[in-house]
Amino acid sequence: MAQCYGKAGKHVKNIGKRKIYIKYIFILISIIVSYIFYKICITIPSTNFYLKTVKNVFAAFSIGSLLSMFIPLFDDKLDIKIKNAFNGAKGEQEVAELLETLPNEYVVFNNIFYENKKIDHIVIGPTGTYIIETTSSRGKVEIKNDNILINGYQYKSLNKMFLNVFWLKDFLGVDFVKGIVVFTNAFVPLDSEIKNITIINKKYLISKIINEKQYMDRDTIEYLKNKILLLLKDKKIDILFKKYTP
């Protein structure tokens, strides 16, 4: 079992939770504002035309505020964003559980941040250093003109993967970092690759990592692991360590 640090999916799940909080806070504020306008409305006497007009204006504000509470309830785009956030978190957790099954010599980091950017997983082991990006999109994956297409639509995070690979190579001082985009729910053609970035279904992830040529010794693995741990410590990120069996 690999040495594992960090909690996969935590950041993405928190995004989903924040969107839910925003949704219901908006509804609560709408109800409160509507009630305030209503209380003002009923205190205004209808003794003349001017006061009647003011009273009607506050009544309209009260009704409008109350009706506005239904906006987030019927906002399909917001619901899709919330659903995607929780599905994304679930996908990251599934991949993290798979990575835990790697042999003892491997080290896995989940949910890594640098320069306001996020890396889903980093793996260091005898076969090298890997950055893994997880996506829970469903459907069929195609590779065309150095682009990843999901059900015909372009996968937009490929450039982010290239930037993450470049950053990790520079940060660790290694010659090569392998990028892997993992689809948890989509069909992916075998041997899919774009500019040294492997695109793969989750069921082939572990075999892809452990079956590559081994070239990194234990001291190098430990050195690179400690560099990332120092990064996490400097950024004051909580480190969740899962024990492994030697």
Residue 235, pLDDT score: 58
> How far apart are the C-alpha atoms of 184 and 202, rounded to whole Å?
5
Q: DSSP strand E in the chain: where?
A: 3-5, 107-114, 117-125, 128-144, 147-150, 153-154, 178-187, 192-194, 197-201, 241-242
Residue 17, pLDDT score: 73
Tokens linked to 57: 């204006």
> How far apart are the C-alpha atoms of 154 and 25, rounded to whole Å?
34
- Is pLDDT above 80 for 179? yes
Q: What's the average model confidence in pLDDT over 42-64?
A: 83
Quick: pLDDT tens for 213-244: 888 999 999 999 999 988 877 655 444 544 44
Quick: pLDDT tens for 97-142: 899 999 999 999 998 888 878 899 999 999 999 999 998 888 899 8
Least confident residue range of 74-88, 96-110, 152-166, 185-199: 74-88
> How far apart are the C-alpha atoms of 245 and 239, rounded to whole Å?
19
Write the DSSP symbol of residue 153: E
Tokens linked to 136: 């829970």
pTM over 0.85: no
The DSSP bridge partners found for residue 121 are 110, 132
- Annotate 146-163 with b (16+ C-beta within 10 A) or e (fewer): eebebeeeebeebeebbe
Residue 105, pLDDT score: 93
> How far apart are the C-alpha atoms of 104 and 136, rounded to whole Å?
27
